Structure 1
Amino acid sequence: MDRITLGSTGLQVAPLCLGTWRFGQESKGTMETNRGQAHDLLDAYADRGGNFVDTANGYGDGRSEEWIGEWLNERDREEFVVASKVYWTQMSEPDENLSRKTIRAEIEGTLDRLDTDYLDLYYIHRWDDETPIEVTLNALSDLVREGKVHYLGASTMAAWKLTKALWTSDVEGLDRFEVTQPLFHAAYHDDVRDYLEVCADQDLAVCPYSPLAGGFLTGKYERADPEDPTVVEGPEGSRATLDDRFSDFYLSERGWHVLDAVREVAAEVDATPAQVALRWLMDRESFTCTPIVGARTVEQLDENLGAVDVSLSADQRERITDARYAEDGRRWGH
């Protein structure tokens, strides 16, 4: 895979980031990705030219970072861009917090589990309403000055909060968020429009999580009830059967219409729906967009990485975008 520049950071990364939230994650008593499978996925990603790995202190209760750290010990650390996050805690109390005390404790735990001296990118996993943003940014800026973190990022939050954080960094002379990580996919686009407009205006890179809507946009699900968009048929062991939140997050009238358009375009370009949905994101013109793919198998990973070789016309991209709307211009609801 060729490299792209991640926003204004200067970091050269693969156009698709490997997400590792499934590493060590247990859902209804099932381990989604065990240690051996995690290392196989990391091997496959690196062997195919990938270099951008995303994790968090809480993924798998810390196992994700530990297993990545073990794997990195067999590789050249400098060849990889490693991102982690802080908010839900492993090393400190309370369980969710962005105070200076928490950030100092959590970065040490993360670096220890990853067995590295620094992170390339450190996100706040959520916004902390109880801690002033200038306190959080001061603590994070100290980590940058100490060389423990190279760049800062922000995950899910309201557009006005992201704007407030950027303004605070500017006024106080603090390091700012350079990369964002919202929930963003073809069927969800308008819900984060204001957020993405801030990213475009401020030259922030966007690394969407759940770019395939939890697997919905892979096309492996079929609608089972024409009156209820949340009733689906899918493979046994798929996310719809493991995660009770699947229908709330990913199933909607809007989603089914977008999936139909994605499938049509996939047939036209001889690609899979997953590859088309990822390519639709990668083709953003107003900001760098590097989707985070969270494959469960090497075969799924290979399919996702195939998106780099897919080409969509402007008309095909617009058809997927327009599928969110009915003929009267009304956006399909949830």
Structure 2
Amino acid sequence: MEYTTLGETGTTVSRLCFGTWRFGKTHGDDVETTREEAHALLDTCYENGINFIDTANVYGDPDGTSETWIGEWLEEYDREEFVIASKVYFPFDGWGEPGPNDSGLGRKHVRRQIEGTLDRLGTDYLDLYYIHRWDDETPIRETLSVLTDLVREGNVNHLGISTAAAWKLTKALWTADVEGLERFDVTQPMVNAAHYDEVGDYLDVCADQDLAVCPYSPLAGGFLTGKYDRAADGSVEAPDGSRATLEDRFGEYYATETAWDVLEAVESVADEVGATPAQVSLRWLMEQDRFTCVPIVGARTPDQLEENLGAVSLDLSDEQFERIEAARD
């Protein structure tokens, strides 16, 4: 495993982060990842040197399932060996009908949610706490103020921000600097080789401010693994049970014209280096030189996770890297 410093923090993480949004997630009567499967995947992380684990208070059905399963697994390991990230924003469905203060980033809601998250994870601190979305109803100063308190009280080490517009990220950083509050060190936008330019302004801010980028959906929902084919009518031909068959918006969200061009370039590079398209796609992100980039990978099985781990030992030439980049044009 390769390791890197997470942006401007002093925390060292594996070059891949393991995402646990599938833990306990249901589609009808089917569970994407059961408790036993979740623990097997976490075992695989440990055995292969992944020390960075990403979750959220609303992952799983019911909410909190992912955090609970991670906490149960951590009982058998040394907590200090892992960098644990979670998130706050959405209503939490485990406390009855949501009230007026049961969502968003106001002080009251954040305080309540951090207590639940720490309890479910069985730890007294988080290494990284993200705001899961931007809250237009709460002044960013209040949000940063309560998050600063959590850092200074020892409940959280570093702060992160997930999905937001570039100007909102800039506003948050400016507010933190002017008010003497803790600032965001890590971001978590949706970034992959086929969906990069759409968040270009956001990434420019990250590069300028030395923020680490931990992309979710680095394989475009599985599209960049090469397991999908293009039908004659332009639609996506997908294997049964794949994400494309479970999400109605998959085609318009991931399988864009640009994405097909990028996939072609990724597959050509994969053939040249004897790797899978998934490994090439992940390595392309890891080799971004404007900011520290640590992709968040999800997997259904240990074998799939180990395949993704092959990206760590892969090398792309400058020409191969640029060919994938050029396919976005």
Fold conserved between structures, TM > 0.5: yes
TM-score, normalisation: structure 2: 0.96
Which stretches in structure 1 are left out of the alignment for 5+ residues? 326-334
Shift of 1:3: 1.5
Structure 1: distance between partners of 2:99 and 2:171: 26
Shift of 1:176: 0.3
Secondary structure of 2:284's aligned partner: helix
Confirm or deny that 1:286 pairs with 2:290. Answer: yes
Q: Which residue of 2 aligns with 1:189?
A: 196
Q: 1:97 aligns with which of 101, 104, 125?
A: 104
Structure 2: distance between partners of 1:269 and 1:14: 23
Q: 2:247 aligns with which of 243, 247, 253?
A: 243
Deviations 1:12-51 (A, max 9, x none): 1000000000001112432110100000000001111110
Shift of 1:10: 1.1
Letter aligned with residue 309 of structure 2: L
Confirm or deny that 1:170 pairs with 2:172. Answer: no
Which stretches in structure 2 are left out of the alignment for 5+ residues? none
Q: 2:88 aligns with which of 86, 93, 102?
A: 86
Letter aligned with residue 104 of structure 1: R
Deviations 1:301-330 (A, max 9, x none): 0010110011001110111111122xxxxx
For 1:85-164, list aligned pairs within 5 A: 85-90=87-92, 93-94=99-100, 96-164=103-171
Letter aligned with residue 66 of structure 1: T
Structure 2: distance between partners of 1:100 and 1:116: 21
Structure 2: distance between partners of 1:215 and 1:276: 13
Deviations 1:224-263 (A, max 9, x none): 13x43xx111221110111223223211111101000000
Q: Which residue of 1 aligns with 2:30?
A: 30
Letter aligned with residue 80 of structure 1: F
Q: Which residue of 2 aligns with 1:45?
A: 45
Aligned 8 A contact 1:278 1:291 in 2 = yes
Aligned sequence identity (%):
67
Deviations 1:59-83 (A, max 9, x none): 0011000000000111000000000
Secondary structure of 1:125's aligned partner: strand
Taking only aligned residues, the RMSD between alpha carbons, in angstroms, comes to: 1.0
Deviations 1:154-180 (A, max 9, x none): 001000000000000000000000000
Q: Which residue of 1 aligns with 2:11?
A: 11
Shift of 1:146: 0.6
Letter aligned with residue 44 of structure 2: A
Aligned 8 A contact 1:275 1:306 in 2 = yes
Structure 1: distance between partners of 2:210 and 2:37: 36
Secondary structure of 1:59's aligned partner: coil
